[in-house]
Amino acid sequence: MKGFTVLFGILMLLLLTSASSVVSQEKNSPAQAHYTYDEANQQTVRGWVVETRDFQCPVNNAMGSHITVKSETGNIEVHLAPASFMKQYDIAFTKNQNVSVVGSRITYEGKPALIAKSVTIGRETFNFRDTKGRPLW
């Protein structure tokens, strides 16, 4: 009986330690942001591309293509579309291209950013979302 009591005590101690670890991780985990296209926050930014890059993006939950646009008010990160969509339609942007971006303003990593609806270069417009802001991919 004494062995059972010791075993029970050890199991309870392990259970309590595990539970406190899970609660601690939940408190320290960053909040998951949900990014949606909001027509009420739609705006147009004009400037030039200072950087292009692909990374795992929380906006579309995929490997996403992004550009950084320098405008009169500073740099802004523009979330375009999944990299697979960009490749499928052979869409690529290069540094120093003059662009006009229509998109919904969000805050990403504490900084202003845009979810692109369309990007225009000269007379060519690349659409990433429909008239309601729904993704075209």
Residue with the bigger pLDDT between 121 and 1: it is 121
pLDDT in tens, 8-59: 555 455 444 544 444 444 444 345 567 899 999 999 999 999 999 999 988 8
Average pLDDT, the chain: 84
Are residues 48 and 96 in contact, defined by beta-carbon separation less than 8 angstroms? yes
CA distance 56 to 35: 14
CA distance 66 to 49: 10
